[in-house]
Homo-oligomer: A and B are copies of this chain.
């Protein structure tokens, strides 16, 4: 008992394997064997060790174990903003896969800032995560990751591809998504279709714009710059864009919003106007069906995105050495009313 408490105090904090060994009167390695369930330990020894563990309340120091072992059983997830429902759904999926593989997950938000992304990614690497799932910040250049990847870190990019470097990526079919949106609106008779998207240096924003333009052109319609507004979907920005598009002799009769933020901003703004306006949003969102009219969207699946990326990461961690790949997750147009308003 006094032996016990003396032992416990020694470390100041937690009991170590050494303390257990001393208390049980066995060798250090024997404790290690018992803790790890290795064979060739006599039942008598094992029992003594277990008793000592119990008495001291010992729990193994994972950090030390993993230092020795050379891997950490952690992955890092870097996204733009956990608080964005799209990314939090993605995060939930990654987390689930990580847990299923017995890994813990670091999470951090780059806040769409390339420097912060880099800093956080390198902080993860300094912690020697085994892998990284990254939603790149706009205008980031990922060459900074090369040394880490050469050192063995597995990186998988989601939603946006790596820049300056070949790396696995899991992307949504952005081009196909806006193409489908345009087709849908054309089918309902619209010929003047506006587009409000996020800042053009964001990969997904650029891709979606491309889908919009390509589909228009392929349909024999002009691509009119004045019907496009790219920028952070702040209320003022959206308001000004709508003012512009709805003015003049040929106002737009339909609008595509490039992401969930833009869609919401447009809905807010339009609700203060009198004009009827058909709308298709990119990204599905909760309650889209409860608005009047329901909001037609191009849905893509953040959960599939996250799960697929994490699965690929773990396949690589388990030794899969296939070539760098880009996986595309399909998008799907969900008609709910707002896109079906006819001219």
Contact = CB atoms under 8 A, between A and B. Distances in A.
A289 B81 CA distance: 23
Grouping DSSP codes into helix (H, G, I), strand (E, B) and loop, the A interface class, with mixed when no group exceeds half, is mixed
A64 B123 CA distance: 14
A91 interface: yes
A64 B108 CA distance: 22
Interface in A278-333: 285-287, 289-292
Contact of A287 (B108, B109, B147, B264): B264
Interface in A137-192: 147, 151-152
A206 interface: no
Given A290-B268, A291-B287, A105 B104 contact: no
Given A59-B125, A64-B67, A82-B88, A151 B267 contact: no
A45 interface: no
A7 interface: no
A209 to B, nearest CB: 25
Interface residues of A, number: 54
Interface string A220-263: 00000000000000000000000000000000000000000000
Contacts of A89: 83
Contacts of A151: 13-14
Interface string A79-122: 00111110011011001100100001111110000000000101
A13 B104 CA distance: 22
Contact of A59 (B60, B64, B126): B126
A203 interface: no
A330 B291 CA distance: 30
Contacts of A60: 126
Contacts of A128: 61-63
A129 to B, nearest CB: 10
A131 to B, nearest CB: 14
A92 B107 CA distance: 10
A124 interface: yes
A57 interface: yes
Contacts of A127: 62-63, 74, 104
Closest 3 pairs between A and B when the two form their complex, measured CB to CB: A88-B88, A83-B92, A62-B126
Interface of A: 13-14, 57, 59-64, 66-67, 70, 72, 74, 81-85, 88-89, 91-92, 95-96, 99, 104-109, 120, 122-128, 147, 151-152, 264, 267-268, 271, 285-287, 289-292
14 contacts: A13-B151, A63-B72, A63-B128, A81-B92, A82-B88, A82-B95, A95-B108, A95-B109, A96-B109, A104-B108, A104-B127, A267-B290, A285-B287, A287-B291
